[in-house]
Chains A and B, each alone.
Chain A
C-alpha cells in the first residue's frame, strides 16, 4: 500500500526554521542523505516497526540497559534508540577532527602548565584565581610528572550545531566520559537490522575503538614493563554506566575490578586472585578523583583503594585519565579554551565555543542578571543536565532562585545564549499530528583517544532529545541516541 510507506512520512516531514540534518527545505534532501531516503522509501511502515522491535529486543536481551533510579524494583530500561541514522560527510568530519585534535592538545598543554610552571597564569592570559579556586584543581599534584606527559587520555567533547549548521563546542568531558559503548552497540544493532543499508553507503567502521584504547593504556604503562597488566576499575554493578565498563573490559580482554579487588603493598598495586596477589600496572579508572583513595581524597570512600595515589605518585602504577583533569571540565575554564589554543599552539581555534558569559566578571554579570529569561545558566561543575536554568522555559520563581545563586557565588556560574540545536528526523510513537517522522534536536559527542598518537572514533554518540521541542539530550533526562555515520571520502 502506497500510503503505508515511510516515504509518506518524509513527505509530510517539516524541517521548520531549524537547521535540519537531512533536509534543506520540505522535500529537499541533502545530497549525503539521498541514498538513505531512497532506501527507506521502499520500506513499509509495518516493516519499519518490525525492525524497530527487533533492535529493542536485542538491546534488552543483551542487557544493554541502564538502571531506572528511585525504583526499588530494580527496573532496567534500554536507552531509546532511533533507527534513522545521522550522516556526516567526509569533509565535514575532517574539519571536526582537526578541531578536536587541536583542542585536546591545548587542554593537555594547559594541564601540564598549571601543574608545573603556570606560565598561562603568570602571563595573565587566564586570571590565576580562576584556576586555583577550581573545585577539581589538585594542588597536591603540583610538580608531578604524569606518564608520557598525557593528562586527558580519553575525552568526550560535546558538539552542537547552531541554526546555520555551524559546529560549536558545548563542553569538554576530561574525567570519565561515558557513552562510547552505545556507539559501538548501536552500530551492531543497525547492521543486524539494516544489513543492506550498509552495503550502499561507505560508512567508516568503529570496531577498532577497544583495540585503540588498549594500545593507549599499554603505552602509558610505567617504564620498562614489557607486558603490562591493564585493568578497568569500576564503582560496581549498581553504577549507571556499569554496562559500559563491562563491555569495554570484555572488548579489550582485560579484568574489570572493583576497589575491593585491589590492594596496595609497598606502593605497588595488586589484584586479589584465586592464586594470590597479581601485580597491576595500568588502571583505566571509571571512578572520579574524589572516590579514588580514601587516604588522600574523600576519607569515607569505600569504592577506592587505600594507598593507590601514593603508588601513582611513585610511578608504580599508571592511571587513565590522570588525577586532576577535572579542572579542564570546569565550565569557567571552558571559557578560556580559545585563549589556551592561541597561547600554547599559536593557532586560531578551528571549532568555536558557544558565546559564554562569566558571572564572576562584573560586566558579564550585570548582562546575565538583566537577561536571565533569555539565557542558559550552568553551574561550573555539574553535568548530566543538572544545576541548569533554561531561561526561556523557566518560571519566574526559578529565575529568581538562580539570580540569588549567581549573586551568592558568581564563580560557580556561567551563562550562554539559548542555541536552537540542529534537528534530525526521528521516529515518533503515537504521533497524532505531524506524522511518525518528526524533527528532534540532537548533539554529538565524539570520543578522542590520546596515546602515542591521537585517534578519534569516526562519528561518536548522537544524542536525541526525544521530547518534542526539548533541548536536553541527556539520557538521565529522557534522551535517546542514533547511529552516527561518517562517510568515506
Chain B
C-alpha cells in the first residue's frame, strides 16, 4: 500500500474517533451541569478543565474570555478555527478519505460524506439549538455506524489495520484525557472526597467513556475513584479502557508487519509492546502512588512516541506545502482553473 494512503487511512480514523469523543464529553458535561446550582464559579470550575484537558487553552482564549458552557461547546463543536472541533475533525476525516477513495468502500465514503454534509448544513445548527442531546447523539451514531460499515464492507487487510491503529491510539488518548479531567475539576468548597458531588463527577467520567453501565455491572454499583481509574486503565475487555486499546493497537501493528506478537521488528512495535506489558503487569495502587495525573501525562507522551515511530516507519513522505496551489491551477483540457480552500491533509501531530 502507498505510504501516503496508509497515512490518510490512519488519520481519517483518528479524526472520526476524535469527533466522537468530543461529542460525548460535551454531551455528558452539559447533562451534568443540569444537576448543579449554576453559580458562576462552579460553571468556570467545570468547563475550564475540559478545555485544558484537550490542550486547547491558548487557542480557546484567543476567541473567548470566559470558559462557560456556551463558549466551550461552541468552540469544541463548530469552531472552524479550532483544528480539533467536531466540525474540523469531520472535515479532515473526509478530506483524508477523499484522497484514498480507492482504498475504502463506497459505503464508508458515502456515510462519511453524509456526516460531513450534515455538519456543514443549516440543519446541523437547527438540530443543535432544538436539542443538543439529539445533535451529539447524531454525531456519536455517525461514528458508530462508520466503524460498523468499515468492519462489514472493507477487506480486513493492511489498510484496515491502519484504520484500527488510528482508532485505538486516538481512543486510548481520549480516555486518558477524560480521566484526567477529573484531576483538574476541583471539588466545590465544603464538599469532601467520596461525597455526593465527588461521586456524581466520577459517574460523569464513566459516562464520558460510555462506561457507566459496564462499570456498574462489574463493581456492582460502588463508585469509588480508584475503582473507576482501575476500570478505565486496567480492564482488558472494555473497548475504551486503556489496556484494551493498547492490546488492539499492538495487534494492529503486528498485523501490518506480519511479525508475531511476542517480538518486535521496528520501533513502533517495541514501544507498543512495552506499554502493553506494563499495563498487563501494573497494579492500580502503583498508579496512584506515582500520581494519577503524572501517570496519564506520561501515558499520553508514550502514545505520541508510538505515533511518531509509526509515521516514520510507514508514512514518511515529503511535506505537502506548496503543492496545493499548483494542484489547483493545473489545467485540464476543457476543464477549469481552480483556486480553493486551504486545509492541510493529514499530519496534525497531536
Contacts and interface: CB of A to CB of B under 8 A. Distances in A.
A354 interface: no
Interface stretch (A23-31, A94-102, A285-293, A405-413): A285-293
A63 B327 contact: no
A260 B335 contact: no
B78 interface: no
B327 A238 contact: yes
A159 to B, nearest CB: 13
A69 B337 contact: yes
B340 A291 contact: no
Which one of A63, A69, A271, A329 has the greatest number of beta carbons of chain B within 10 Å? A63
B327 to A, nearest CB: 4
A17 interface: no
A198 B33 CA distance: 59
Contacts of A373: none
Contacts of B314: 274
Interface string A159-176: 000000000000101111
Contacts of A177: 332-334
Contacts of A239: 327-328, 330, 332, 338
Given A235-B327, A261-B2, A67 B340 contact: yes
Given A237-B95, A249-B102, A273 B330 contact: no
B300 to A, nearest CB: 26
Interface string B99-122: 101100010011001100100000
B324 A258 contact: no
A273 B95 contact: no
Contacts of B134: none
A175 B335 CA distance: 12
Given A255-B2, A274-B6, A291 B335 contact: no
Contacts of A257: 2, 4
B212 interface: no
Interface string B331-350: 11111111111110100000
Interface string A38-68: 0000000000000000000000111100110
A302 interface: yes
B102 A260 contact: no
Interface stretch (B175-183, B232-240, B283-291, B315-323): B315-323
- Interface residue tally on A, bucketed by range: 35 or more
Contacts of B56: none
Interface in A244-263: 246-247, 249-250, 255-261
Contacts of A236: 99, 323-324, 327
B314 to A, nearest CB: 4
Contacts of B131: none
Contacts of A255: 2, 5, 102
B326 A302 contact: yes
Contacts of B341: 67, 71-74
Given A250-B101, A258-B4, A261-B4, A69 B326 contact: no
Interface string B172-202: 0000000000000000000000000000000
Contacts of B332: 176-178, 239-241, 286, 384
A353 interface: no
- Interface residue tally on B, bucketed by range: 35 or more
Contact of A383 (B1, B317, B326, B334): B334
B323 A272 contact: no
A42 B138 CA distance: 40
B93 to A, nearest CB: 13
Nearest to A74: B341
A70 interface: yes
B309 interface: no
Nearest to A251: B102
Nearest to A303: B326
A420 interface: no
A175 B158 CA distance: 35
A238 B339 CA distance: 8
A273 B2 contact: yes
B320 A178 contact: no
Contact of B343 (A74, A171, A272, A291): A74
Given A61-B117, A62-B113, A74-B343, A383 B4 contact: no
Interface string A226-243: 000000000111111110
A286 B328 CA distance: 13
A170 B317 CA distance: 43
A151 to B, nearest CB: 15
Given A176-B332, A303-B330, A63 B337 contact: no
B336 A70 contact: no
B335 A384 contact: yes
Nearest to B336: A476
A260 to B, nearest CB: 5
A386 interface: yes
5 closest cross-chain pairs (CB), A and B: A476-B336, A173-B333, A235-B327, A74-B341, A236-B327
Given A179-B334, A238-B324, A384-B334, 8 more contacts: A66-B336, A69-B328, A74-B343, A240-B338, A255-B2, A258-B323, A260-B318, A261-B3
Interface of A: 60-63, 66-67, 69-74, 156, 158, 171, 173-179, 235-242, 246-247, 249-250, 255-261, 271-275, 286-288, 291, 301-303, 329, 383-384, 386, 445, 474-476
